[in-house]
Structure 1
Amino acid sequence: MRRFTLLLTLLVTACATAQEPQGGAPMPLVNGAGQQIGTVRAWQTAGGVSFHIAASGLTHGLHGVHVHSVGRCDPPDFASAGPHWNPAGRQHGLNNPQGPHAGDLPNVEVAANGVLGATVVLPGAAMANLLDADGAALVIHAQSDDYKTDPSGNSGARIACAVLRPGAELR
């Protein structure tokens, strides 16, 4: 019985470790009231920058996610985060022939209980470019992104925001 208990403990620990999100130090994700509702972790990969978003208290369904060009998240509307990160001056949308913005990310799905746990990748990006003099922010929108309508994919209001900060990509 002890061997079974030890084996079960090791198995559960191994599974929990394998599912732990990668990335640097967690950056606070705040809602329009300025309350922390989760965290964002970011890390550089060979193919771009990955973000793991962990949050609660969101509305169920698909939500647009974008990297915005300024590292500020002033509630309630996060207008301080500026427009989408778009150094090449392209139009918005992963399905737009004149797009996408460099900061366009795939939609994420919030579970029925309001919990979000998702990892998204910003292809071809470098943390060094995101963390320029005024930084960048990751913003979650109220609605899903249609991947084609300029400037924001009809994704609605900005409902959550995390400032991307230097050193965040280091574990």
Structure 2
Amino acid sequence: MGNAVLEQVSKYSYLGHMITEDISTLKEIQIWIEKTSQRFWENKELLRRNVGFNTKKRILACYIFLVFNYGCETWSYPKTVQKKIQMFEMWRYRRPLNVLWTEEKTNKEIIQIADIGERLLQQLMKRKVRYAGHIMRGRSGLLLQLPLEGKIKGKRGQGKPRRN
């Protein structure tokens, strides 16, 4: 490094996460949706008609939603992100149930048919709360507690705080 000048970029990938200038999680969630879509189509043979739906649900939980959960503790969940996650989850359940969009079934009907206990968004938010508790207990080190306790030196940026 020494005297080298570092280039400032608007976004970059670090440990599988997209870091952006505006700290928006919407782009990162879109990337994870694409990754899990790829994983979904790799396992489409397991989602054929001759496999029971309970087995299909387990496959979704194991191979699709588990990949999507990676790093979810650091995401923020504004309304736009919540809707995107809910749409992603419903699409993943509609496909193995062979429910077409032309049938005009609501998400509530899909949830009843699929007998979904806990929704994906609820699971993600629970993981975030558990991670915050882990940090507050001090097992991750004091440095991670500083932002949560508001002990960071300096002033916040001018203007209205961002919601994303």
TM tier, smaller: under 0.3
Looking at CA atoms only, which structure, 1 or 2, has the larger radius of gyration?
2
The two structures have a TM-score, normalised by structure 1, of: 0.26
The two structures have a TM-score, normalised by structure 2, of: 0.27
- Pick 1 or 2: higher relative contact order, CA cutoff 8 A, min separation 6: 1
Structure whose residues are more often strand by fraction:
1
Structure whose residues are more often helix by fraction:
2
